[in-house]
Structures are given as structure tokens and as C-alpha cells.
Amino acid sequence: MDPSTAALALAPDPLAHWLGAHAWQLFALALPLLGVLVVALALAWRHPRRPLRAPEAPSLAWLLATLAVGFGVVVALASGFAEIAEALGDSQALGHWDDSFSRAVGLHTPLAVQHAFALLTRLADPWPMTVLGVVVALALWWRGHRVDAAGWVLAMVGNTLLNLALKQVFARTRPLHEDGIISASGYSFPSGHSSGAVVAYGMLAFLACRLLPARWHLPALVAAALLSVTAAWSRVLLRVHFPSDVLAGLLSGSSWLAVCILAVTAAHHHARVRAQRSAGLP
């Protein structure tokens, strides 16, 4: 690399630097807007429309094939994003943008804000997620919601295994954060906190919409969106992940969440149709 190219590589990206310098203020503005957007989408979804005809009961083979295809889509999305990041390298394009953003966050985020997000990031730490996973699974099983319990376990365990596999495949190093208030080890891409938060809180919202009275549906959806984004953004503000790591985590988590919701919905439909046929109903 010649001296002029090296100097350019060291110069921060202007847009990334500005966004990183104002990252926590932008988060404070974006979070309530996200809440409003979720409410608007939920209300629009509730608008009366012609009911759709229920499909025929899917077979077990169809369910397994759906899971396999969905898993492949998740891997393809995350792999495509990771390939771009790896191909560009830390000294070029996306890697340079990420690094400029992360450095600006470290320079311009007040210590009090960092401490606040060090608490908020615990929303998706492994131990709280493990406890939440066990408690919800046992509660669903004890209340007789066996399909929902199985779907919940599939979502939580499957996402953990998927994230670990992707980290090993792409082996991206974390941003430099020796002077940060928390530390993190292991590979960076994609963010496990981001994908874990989307899957856990998204599944809780789905289960709330299935099992709780209607008055709880909208609050559950809004809470899931706000908690997921907060946990994800905390990883950037604490400089234990690059923005692209968090984006990839949100994408992979959302994809896996969609697969699990589809599987649970199809399984419930299958069980309902079998029960109707056993009772001799049309």
C-alpha cells in the first residue's frame, strides 16, 4: 500500500464519523419512532379484510422441508452479508466505514450513556436468555401448550446454534475496545445479542398474541420491537460489535424467527385438522 492510500485508509469516513458521534442521540430519537411504526402496522393489520381460506393440513414431511428451506434462507442471507464484509476487508469500504463509526462512538459517547447501555445490553446476555428460555418452556409445557413449548425451544436453541456456526465460519474480529467499560471475547459477525433478542422477544410477542387476551397483543409487539432494537444498538454503543455485525444479527434472527413462527402455525393447523377429522367433522 503506497503512503497516499495508507493515509486515506486512516482518515475516518465523514458520514460514518458523524453518525457514530451522534449514535446515542439518534437512538433516542429513533426508538419512539419505531414504537409508533409498530403501532401503525399493527392497527393496519387489524383492519377488517376478507378472511383467507385455510390451507390443507400440511404433512410432517412438508413441515420438515419448510424448516430446511427456511434454515437455508437464513444461512444464505447471513453468508451473503458476511462475504461482502470479508471481501472488502477492514481497510476498505464497509470495514473502513464500520471502523470509523466505532471510533467516533468511543470518542463522543458520554460515560454515563455507556454505563446505561452496559445495563441495557444485559437484556440479551446468555444467562438471562437461558433462564428466560427454561422458564417459558416449562410454563408452556405445564399449561398444556406443548406445540408452543416445542416451537419456543426450537427458536431459542436453533438460533444459538446458528449464530455459533456463522461466527466460526466467518471468524471476524471485534472492534478494538480496550478502553470500553465492558469486554467481549469471541468472533464478531453476526451479533449474537442482536439475533437472540429478536428471536426471544419476537417469539414472546407471537405467543402473547396466540395465548393472551387481545388487549395484550399490541403492548407485546411494541415491547418486543423496542427491547430487540435496544439490545442490538447497545452492542454498537459499547463497541463490542460493528454496525454491520448488528445488522447481520438482526437479519439472521428475524429470518429464523419467521421460520419458527411458520412452523408453529402450521403445526397448530395440522393438529386442529386432525382433531376435526377424528371427531368426524368436515
- Contacting residues for 134 by C-beta, under 8 A, at least 6 apart: none
Note the pLDDT of residue 198. 95
Query: What residues contact 165, with CB distance under 8 A and at least 6 apart?
Result: none
Domain assignment present for 242: yes
Identify the band that residue 138 occupies on the pLDDT scale cut at 50, 70 and 90. Answer: very high
Query: Do 200 and 127 meet the contact criterion of CB atoms below 8 Å apart?
Result: no
In 3-state terms, what secondary structure has residue 78? Answer: helix
Type of residue numbered 222? V
CA 250 to chain centre: 4
pLDDT of 91 reads 47
172 versus 8: the higher-pLDDT residue is 172
Return d(Cα 28, Cα 34) in angstroms, integer. 11
Gyration radius of the chain's alpha carbons: 21
Q: Is residue 248 domain-resident?
A: yes
- What total of structural domains would you count in the chain? 1
Structural domain that includes position 184: 60-278
236 inside domain: yes
Q: What is the pLDDT of residue 74?
A: 61
* pLDDT at residue 99 tops 90: no
Assigned domain for 220 exists: yes
pLDDT tens for each residue of 199-217: 999 999 999 988 988 889 8
What is the pLDDT, as a whole number, of residue 89?
52
Is residue 21 one of the residues assigned to a domain?
Answer: no
Give pLDDT, residue 228.
93
Residue 153 above 70 pLDDT?
A: yes
Sequence-separated (6 or more) residues with CB below 8 Å from residue 153: 133, 137
**16, part of any domain:** no
Residue 51 within any structural domain of the chain: no
The answer to the question of residue 28 being in a domain is no
Q: What is the pTM of this model?
A: 0.81
